[in-house]
Amino acid sequence: MAETLTIPAYRTPAALLVIADDFTGANDTGVALVRQGLTAHVQFDIQTEVQRGSSASAVIYSSDSRALSAAQAAQKVTLAVQAGMAAISGQHWVFKKIDSTLRGNLGAETEAALTALHCPLAIVAPAVPALGRVVADGKCYVNGQLLTETEFASDPKTPVHTASIAERLAEQTSLKQHHVSFEALRSGDLHKVIFALVASGVRILIADSETPEDLKLIVQAAESLPFRPLMVGASGLIHALTDAALHDNEHPPVISGKKLPLLAVVGSMSEIALQQVACVMQHRAISLLDIDVIPLFSDEFIDIQQTLVAQISQALAQGKHCVIRTSQGAEQRHRIAQFCQQHDISRSQMGERIAAFLGQLIRHVLQQTHPGGIYLTGGDIALAVVRALGAKGFEIKGQIADCVPWGYLQGSQIHRLPVMTKAGGFGTESTLLEVLRFIEEKLSD
């Protein structure tokens, strides 16, 4: 086992319904609850009944809809909201987790959630100040750069063509919007402004925010309304929401377990993911296996899988941390783009093939050996792996390096093996190194 937060029994039934558009996003949201001393369970399947008698304070659904069409995404969010509302009782908030860099189906999913909830207003605030992601003049900035000037704009699966939140929403919804500037946000009368806007027919409010205090003001205004608005944002907003709504019950970690090497699957194509692997290689003698994804579309993929299973199993058996990487830089990304164009393969199809291959690869590896933990980066990759392992949910136990939730898979063959996840573009160059240190230093016999 590994470092864990002691979770006390919670005083009321579930206080929060969360709908996230991918698995790692659902986990990031769950971490905010765990940090408050609560229990968070991520549901993969809306058909799976939520255990009413548990101490869980939130029902969290991963709709896995970021790369779907707008219509498909809206349908999945509608079903998740309906399932979630049937599972919770009493006073509660509904939080629609979106990507802080505006990838995915923002408009379709926000409108679907509002409709399913019969809710008059959504407040959209995707800022995550702790990660350098802020909203100013209704536009998203990442570490001081306009979103469209960063690598997220050219995401291989869900590219973003504008930094304007209003424009992104308007691509998929015609609901009336209004932008709340810093001046209005910090005026002290925000709740009155919001109430008047709702009366005028505004359904979506986009709020500027660059500090945790700004997000706190948004939550305070939402609490002052005569109804509970739909809260739409990323980890920054959920932290503000839980800080306001729940007591801080953090406890010191309980440490136990056994030292074993880490198995890491780095499926993200982001530059920061490459930097994280490079940093680890400077400090640890790891086993690094680079996978060329193009042959996965040939008859060779079974032989490739068998070879990789043997190499990974051997490295882990020798006690070496093993990192599997699918992206080695811009040159490879360009080669993949050319391959897709030449063979009429969409980005989505490419991503699905890679994710499915890695899911089966890890399943075969775990049938032969037992690492000390599994680290999965990239939302599609993480979900494919845990599904291949037969998991029905994810119980979050804690957080590493401020952006890596860890916990145990539910209903899986490896249900007591620590699993760590990270969204591709998050963290610093030392994040993976901190995960290794967690495995090395916090696990003991």
CATH number at residue 342: 3.40.980.20
My answer on whether 204 and 273 are in the same domain is no
Task: Look at residues 333, 376, 337, 335 and name the one whose alpha carbon lies nearest to residue 358.
Answer: 376
Confidence band, pLDDT 50/70/90 cuts, at residue 95:
very high
Reported residue count of the chain is 445
My answer on whether 151 and 59 are in the same domain is yes
My answer on whether 97 and 151 are in the same domain is yes
Residue 4: per-residue pLDDT: 31
Say what the pTM is. Answer: 0.70
My answer on whether 221 and 82 are in the same domain is yes
| Number of C-beta neighbours around residue 416 at 10 A | 9
My answer on whether 236 and 305 are in the same domain is no
Between residues 6 and 283, the one the model is more confident about: 283
Domain assignment present for residue 250? The answer is no
My answer on whether 63 and 177 are in the same domain is yes
My answer on whether 200 and 74 are in the same domain is yes
pLDDT over threshold 80, residue 223: yes
Residue 329: per-residue pLDDT: 61
DSSP one-letter code for 128: B
Strand order in the sheet with 133-136: 133-136, 139-142, 145-146
Residue 137: per-residue pLDDT: 97
Q: Hey, what are 293's tokens?
A: 């994804």
My answer on whether 233 and 283 are in the same domain is no
Range of the domain at 313: 255-442
Task: Look at residues 215, 140, 131 and name the one whose alpha carbon lies nearest to residue 402.
Answer: 131
Phi and psi at residue 189, in whole multiples of 5°?
Answer: -120, 30
Task: Look at residues 307, 311, 434, 316 and name the one whose alpha carbon lies nearest to residue 371.
Answer: 316
Residue 230: per-residue pLDDT: 97
pLDDT over threshold 70, residue 262: yes
Distance CA 176, CA 420 (A): 40
Distance CA 390, CA 105 (A): 27
DSSP one-letter code for 212: H
Q: pLDDT tens, 146-195?
A: 999 998 888 778 889 999 999 999 999 999 999 999 999 999 889 888 98
> pLDDT > 90: what percent of the chain?
40
Confidence band, pLDDT 50/70/90 cuts, at residue 27:
confident
Between residues 202 and 414, the one the model is more confident about: 202
Q: pLDDT tens, 60-82?
A: 999 999 989 999 999 999 999 99
Distance CA 288, CA 308 (A): 11
Domain count, the chain: 2
My answer on whether 156 and 211 are in the same domain is yes
Start-to-end CA span in the chain (Å): 9
Residue 14: per-residue pLDDT: 43
Residue 98: per-residue pLDDT: 95
For residue 173, the one-letter residue type is: T
Confidence band, pLDDT 50/70/90 cuts, at residue 328:
low
Identify the CATH number of the domain in which residue 235 sits: 3.40.50.10840
Distance CA 286, CA 311 (A): 13
Phi and psi at residue 128, in whole multiples of 5°?
Answer: -130, 85
Domain assignment present for residue 126? The answer is yes
Distance CA 102, CA 197 (A): 24
